[in-house]
Amino acid sequence: MHVTTIRGRKIDVGQVAFDDLRARLQGPVHVPGEVAYEEARTVWNAMIDRKPAAVVRCLGTADVIASVQFARQNDILLSIKGGGHNIAGLAVEDGALMLDMSLMRGVWVDPERRIARAQAGCLIGDVDRETQVHGLAAALGFVSETGIAGLTLGGGLGYLTRRFGWTTDTVAGMDVVTADGRLVHASREEHEDLFWGLRGGGGNFGVLTGIEYELFPVGPEVVGGVVAWPASEAPEVLEFYRNLAETAPLELTLVALMRPAPPAPWLPKEMHGEPIVAVLACHTGSPEEGEEAVAPIKSFGNPIGDVLARRSYTQMQSLLDATQPKGRRYYWKAEYLPRIEPALCEGLIEHAHRIRSRHSAITVFQLGGALNSVDEDASPVGNRDARFVLNITGSWERAEEDGANIAWAREAWADMRAFSTGGTYVNFMTQDEGRDRLEAALGEGLGRLAQVKATWDPENVFRTNRNIEPA
């Protein structure tokens, strides 16, 4: 027996008639004890250990509609899993019926209209692979294993953000199953309020089944990769990064990072585990222009490793994957920055020296460009003044190390907050971040989001997310 409390009422989810649900679906339903159940409930961050009542692996929109209707009829909480990458584990909830979208990974590209239609269970790599067949790309994120649904519903940033804006700025339409079990298409022409809310308001308004992305000519070859120096050169490297970022063309995105050197073959063995500073760069214009743009990085100081070169766009998109594997313990703190100041650099260097795990890092991703020229209220993502995002990423292996690593991230963040725009990224928020941080992420948009919620989900059916209560 597994008792859960839903809307103040105790429910024995063992008594819920999942056989009835099975009869309504094409995809399988998995319950505790099954291997597939364990796989589905396990998300990227090993700090999250929650047990849903059952998992539906949806095979199509009809399965999503049937599951939403079943959950409402039986008064069971719903949770939705895209790529399962959310650091706060928002995809999984104790006692809930989890809709696992991972079997819905189709991508259809219309090269004439430069539109890709992707099912909501896709990972970034699925979309990149299909769009690159046509020399096109959607403006998605930096790690190819991230789910597109959670990323897009929260904003979305990556190597193309400076050219085209947040991912949500490039969405042409979305298909969503609403709380009353209807399939609705939202775009600038249809259900404009819902479309606005979906582009930053998370999974508050329904279950996304498909997304239409605008595509842009990118690749197949770009110039990208990493150059690394010993941490002793960090003051000079960060000053160099600061200046280069000021003048970088929109095609070039620069990322500064400090961490213990990973055991990568391109870094000298004796440096593995030692503190380093690195610049990750990606130029998505022509390879010739890209080589010219990154030449100053390659010739700066005395690098200990350099893998900044021409490579395929899809390879670039998966370059960071190995540094963020599923199954480790993670704790992040993030802030948007308006600029890089010398005092910020000094603070980052100091906190990088106090890192408690060989997997942790302090990273500054360059933003700015196109996202700064769009109206603040064009979508709930807002933060149109962001020029960089600082992410303090604690990453370690054993539960006994939780305290030390979380304390390190919190201390670094507490010191570095002084340099923030005051905004943060909703998709980088951890479990312990509450309403004040949601306000920092979504700002004045929260009021309008509550209105949209009242129209589309007045009973707050969809609340295993960064919840916005109906107005």
Ligand X SMILES: Cc1cc2nc3c(=O)[nH]c(=O)nc-3n(C[C@H](O)[C@H](O)[C@H](O)COP(=O)(O)OP(=O)(O)OC[C@H]3O[C@@H](n4cnc5c(N)ncnc54)[C@H](O)[C@@H]3O)c2cc1C
The number of residues that bind ligand X (CB under 6 A) is: 37
Cα separation values, 127 from 16, 24, 25, 156, 227, Å: 37, 30, 26, 14, 28
Q: Is 173 in the site for ligand X (CB under 6 A)?
A: no
Whose CB is nearest to ligand X?
150
User: Nearest distance from residue 384's CB to ligand X, in Å?
Assistant: 16
Rounded to the nearest 5 percent, the helix, strand and coil shares of the chain are 35, 25, 40
Q: Is 381 in the site for ligand X (CB under 6 A)?
A: no
Nearer to ligand X, 202 or 225 (CB): 202
Q: 432 to 471, contacts with ligand X by CB under 6 A?
A: 464-465
Q: Is 340 in the site for ligand X (CB under 6 A)?
A: no
Tell me which stretch binds ligand X (CB under 6 A): 2-10, 155-163, 270-278, 296-304: 155-163
Nearer to ligand X, 150 or 290 (CB): 150
Cα separation values, 15 from 18, 21, 52, 56, Å: 8, 13, 14, 17
User: What are the φ/ψ torsions at residue 410 (nearest 5 degrees)?
Assistant: -65, -40
Between the CA atoms of 26, 27, 28 and 29, what dihedral angle is there, to the nearest 10 degrees?
-90
Q: 117 to 136, contacts with ligand X by CB under 6 A?
A: 120
Q: Is 27 in the site for ligand X (CB under 6 A)?
A: no
Binding mask 400-439 for ligand X (x = CB under 6 A): ---------------------------x------------
Beta-bridge partner residues of 330: 395
Using CB under 6 A, which of 141, 224, 285, 394 touches ligand X?
Answer: 141
DSSP-assigned letter for residue 261: P
Report d(CA 192, CA 186) in Å as an integer. Answer: 7
Nearer to ligand X, 130 or 175 (CB): 175
Report d(CA 125, CA 140) in Å as an integer. Answer: 10
Between the CA atoms of 365, 368, 372 and 376, what dihedral angle is there, to the nearest 10 degrees?
10
CB distance 365 to 280 below 8 Å: no
Tell me which stretch binds ligand X (CB under 6 A): 27-35, 76-84, 186-194, 229-237: 76-84
Using CB under 6 A, which of 68, 107, 122, 143 touches ligand X?
Answer: 143
Nearer to ligand X, 128 or 233 (CB): 128
Secondary structure class of 292 (helix, strand, coil) = helix
Q: Is 267 in the site for ligand X (CB under 6 A)?
A: no
Binding site residues, ligand X, CB under 6 A: 43-44, 79-87, 90-91, 101, 120, 141-143, 146-147, 149-151, 153-158, 202-203, 207-208, 324, 427, 464-465
